[in-house]
A and B are shown apart, each in its own frame.
Chain A
Amino acid sequence: MSWLRIVAISRKEVLQIVRDPRSLLIILVIPFVQLLIFGYAINLDVKHVPLCIYDRDGTQTSQDLLKHFQATDYFAIAHLSDNYQDVVHNIDNGVCSVAIVVPPQFSEDLRSNGQASVQAILDASDSNSASIGMGYAQAIVQTYSSEIQVNWQQERGMAAGAPSISFEPRTWFNEDLESMANLVPGVVALVMAVVGAFLTSLTIAREWERGTMEQLISTPVGKLEIQIGKLFPYFVIGVADTAICAGTAVWWFGVPFRGSWLVLYGCSMLFLIVVLSLGYFISVTAKSQLGACQMALLATFLPTFLLSGFVFPIDQMPIVVQWITAILPARYYVSILRNVFLKGTAIHLLAGDIAALATIAVVLVFFATRSFKKRLE
């Protein structure tokens, strides 16, 4: 191993990166843009659900109930209907995804039977939003229902002393239940996986494609020297991209950062070694730039997006899929990032994730080094 040769390769690689505007763009602009796009586009909070109201009762009581729907952030009244067809029409058009229909004898039934019902119609083509909307609607009706119970008891001189349990939730780590705070650390992992593997996936393939590899491997340079020399500049870029991503998360999106920057950086470097080795391995195997960058995207973007727990919780996945996620480096990194950002978890509590990431790093570095041959066959 000669440091001079490693330095010579790194310097050459830097010159090539600097002279290629496309790779500069990928390095500097793409992480920031991706973070912004994902940060804003992936929003799992359901608020301002468009609501259609059809009040067939038209009494003070029915209006009181509907005021509760108006008063909350969860719904936005998009339309007032005066017939059923109109309700159906508005749901069909997507003008509103929830419709509340108050039946004609609503207040009458309440008074005489002590029992009345309200109809809710939900557009369940987006089942997730529909069930959340249903939950909101249920809660509002429930609240109103207990209000009128209390009123009824008070009117009859009964003390409001009926036993009841009050529910006092305290959400830790993400106090406002902002999905942004939960997602942005995942986006950081996604950006780093894609940029890291994508950039390095080209480095060896490009040399084969342009014919420069034949000259390079005819020299006494060792394959480990090539690997270290080539990956080092991308490692530095990756570290800089981590800073861009984490900085954007904290100062732009206001994601709380409670952990230690040292832990964040240590783990990010480990993750970088993983994705860079993956990209290098792909590059050695593919031998064409197009094939290599497609494989790199396929190996990083989709699994990181779908299986890392970044959007979809791993413990909700079928058990077989859960096993598959065990070999996915991004899964551990996302978990570490969330812990470091939101919980400020101490490093010894992250040991499991770090160990898993380190194991994957060792395996990938081994395969990346082994796969490269200083021969033309």
Chain B
Amino acid sequence: MYEIAARKELAPKIKMFEVCAPEMAEKARPGQFLIVIINETGERVPLTIAGYDAKKGTVSFAFNEVGKTTKQLGCMKVGDCIWNVTGPLGIPSEIKNFGNVLCVVGGVMIAPMLLQVKALREAGNTVTAVVGARIKDLLFFEDEMKALSNKFYVATDDGSKGYKGLDFLWGILTKEKFDRCVVMGPVVMMKEVSEKTKPHQIPTIVSLTPIMIDGMGMCGVCRVSVGGKMKFGCVDGPEFDGHKVDFDELVNRQRMFLPEERLSSLVWETLGGCKFGGK
């Protein structure tokens, strides 16, 4: 049982939890993830680590309420207990002084990216942060990211805040020299940024979120093609070379259980959602 120590609403349907897990807090590193199981009938959901505090003995993760489990998780309050949290899983991000680093992030992944930017800055890097969302209401941690990074840009798909789309970034890529690029967020975005950094030969790291079950190398559902080789997102990743990932295959594999995911969500909501108690 893992008690929820703090709960923050970052944006509509985006929440961040801090849970008590002292040993994980001691071992967690940027780039790693947790597997969260709400209750005995729950599924194993991978969520990227968005923070850890060894002194307080807590680890944090953010999630977007898109499916049954994340919606149900969103109903939980401070003091409630999550049935099982396993982690930290996956290989931590490579953090060292690369020089000039470009960090591009969209959606819920803004939370773990903040952790990454902090670590990169502490290692002596200059960081340009580009934070994006569909619409301005879905943006969060703008001030925090602005304070941590050396240069800071905001973009939204509809242009309701900052730049409209990422087109402005391609201009920056031609003007400024980057030693490394880290991208976290929707697959289409990771794909697009990777395609644009390739001609500039900027090593580009993407943090993938394929479907997972065990998260420790047993089931193989998270397999991705990287440079034509089969890799497991959970144990070989979750971070890979963005210039080598087959993103189209990844999108296809992420959609494998869409009808079932919709059904599960619908059934739960029909039964009363949060009021149903999540059983």
A and B co-occur in one complex? no
Instruction: Write the residues of chain A forming the contact surface with B, with a CB cutoff of 8 angstroms.
Output: none
